[in-house]
Structure 1
Amino acid sequence: MTGRLLATAARVVEHRWNERLRDCGVSHAGLVLLHSLSQGPSGQRELAGRLRVTEQTLARTVATLESSGHVARHQDQPDRRRRTVEITPTGLDLLARMSDIGDDLTDEIVRSAGGDVAAFRQGLLALVDHLGSGDRFGQSGTDAPGGAATS
């Protein structure tokens, strides 16, 4: 039961994020991808593994962000079969704006349910660490950009 509640809560939060982010031309999955790329360029296969989505799902998100100028894909020089994705300056600007909006929205959702934002965040970080993702979202124990994208 707890697992289903956690999955349902994640979907509901993601839908809320998408409603707010749609006006800015990015989805929740796109925001998570931009955040991951803010750590540096990466191959599409590695990105899909890190974000726990299929390569096909990732390719659709990358294509959308590429068409809006937020990411760029390049053929890897050592291995021409490999595609590398990197965030553009436009993508970095969008990420900075959207991270603040997303943090505010998530905190608002937790507060509206009567929760303690800091305690809730710490609980989620403990869960993620315990499950061994090893991804602290590039930050020292603070907000994640909404969690991993789902396929």
Structure 2
Amino acid sequence: MSTAPEPDLSTWPTGRLLAVAARLVEQRWVTVLAQLGLTHAGLIALHSLRDGPLPQRSLAQHCQVTDQTMSRTLDRLAKAGFVTRTPDPADARRHLTRLTSAGRAVHEQAVRAEPALLGGIGEDQAFRGRLLELIAGLSAGD
């Protein structure tokens, strides 16, 4: 039985390389986050709540998802004990979502897991800067 030769990645267009890298990183993140009892959406929500409580609608806007998506994410995070939702004293029609100590701890675990996940490349500030430039440039085209 013969195996296909390894592709010469150096000949691939940059966009394809970025897509493959993104897919591989996403697969690794899914595995690591599942071990922590999180999803990618849950991690983003926890990250957004680290500086203080937010109403669900503001949190959804901050995370760039719909209110319905955020509601499902918060339901999972609340069941896991990572967030609480309490009535907003300034407006009884809405609830504030805040991190619990367990939520803060699991967020910190995920943040600490990132360097190993990326083989240290996430700590390369020049690389991060280029990624931020790329994202900003592509977003400006929307």
Question: TM-score of the superposition, structure 1-length normalised?
Answer: 0.70
Residue number in structure 2 paired with 1:123: 130
| Aligned counterpart for 1:43 among listed residues 55, 61, 86 | 55
Structure 2 residues not aligned, in runs of 5+: 1-12
Residue number in structure 2 paired with 1:78: 90
Q: Residue by residue, what CA displacement relative to the aligned partner does 1:64-94 show, whole Å, maximum 9, x if unpaired?
A: 1100111001111221111210001111111
| Aligned counterpart for 1:31 among listed residues 43, 47, 52 | 43
Residue number in structure 1 paired with 2:27: 15
Matched, 1:64 2:76: yes
Q: Secondary structure of 2:91's partner?
A: coil
Residue number in structure 2 paired with 1:149: none
Q: Which has the higher strand share?
A: 2
| Aligned counterpart for 1:90 among listed residues 102, 113, 134 | 102
- Number of paired residues? 127
Structure 1 residues not aligned, in runs of 5+: 133-151
- AA at the equivalent of 2:99: I
Q: CA deviation at 1:12?
A: 4.2
Question: TM-score of the superposition, structure 2-length normalised?
Answer: 0.74
Question: Higher RCO, 1 or 2 (CA under 8 Å, sep at least 6)?
Answer: 1
% identity of equivalent residues: 41
Q: Residue by residue, what CA displacement relative to the aligned partner does 1:94-115 show, whole Å, maximum 9, x if unpaired?
A: 111111112321x22859xxxx
Superposed CA RMSD = 2.7
Q: CA deviation at 1:119?
A: 2.9
Q: Secondary structure of 1:23's partner?
A: helix
Q: Secondary structure of 1:80's partner?
A: strand
Q: CA deviation at 1:16?
A: 1.9
Q: Distance in 1 between matches of 2:62 and 2:93?
A: 20
Q: Which has the higher helix share?
A: 2
Q: Distance in 2 between matches of 1:75 and 1:10?
A: 38
Q: CA deviation at 1:5?
A: 6.9
Q: Secondary structure of 1:81's partner?
A: strand
